[in-house]
Structure 1
Amino acid sequence: MAASGLDETLSFQPRFDRDGLIPAIVTDAGDGTVLMFAHMNEDALRLTRETGLVHFWSRSRQALWQKGETSGESFEVRDILVDCDQDVLLVKAVPRGRGLACHTGRRSCFYRKLTASGLAKA
Structure 2
Amino acid sequence: MELNKFFVKAPLIPVICQDERTGEVLMLGYANEEALQLTMDTGTAWFFSRSRQKLWNKGETSGNFIFVSKILSDCDDDTLIYVGIPKGPVCHTGNRTCFYTTLWEKEEQA
Moved over 2 A (4+): 10-13, 15-18
RMSD: 1.9
RCO comparison, higher one (Cα < 8 Å, 6+): 2
Q: Is the counterpart of residue 44 in structure 1 residue 35 in structure 2? A: yes
Q: Is the counterpart of residue 108 in structure 1 residue 97 in structure 2? A: yes
Report the identity percentage.
48
Deviations 1:17-72 (A, max 9, x none): 43x10100001011011000000011100000011111000000001010000000
The 5 A counterparts of 1:1-122 are 13-18=5-10, 20-96=11-87, 99-115=88-104
Which one has the largest radius of gyration? 1
Q: How far, CA to CA, are the matches of 2:7 and 2:56 in structure 1?
A: 21
Displacement after TM superposition at 1:114 (Å): 1.6
Count of matched residue positions in the alignment of Structure 1 and Structure 2: 105
Give the TM-score of the pair, scaled to structure 2.
0.88
Unmatched 5+ residue regions in structure 2? 106-110
Q: How far, CA to CA, are the matches of 1:79 and 1:54 in structure 2?
A: 11
Q: How far, CA to CA, are the matches of 1:89 and 1:47 in structure 2?
A: 14
Q: Which has the higher helix share?
A: 2
Give the TM-score of the pair, scaled to structure 1.
0.79
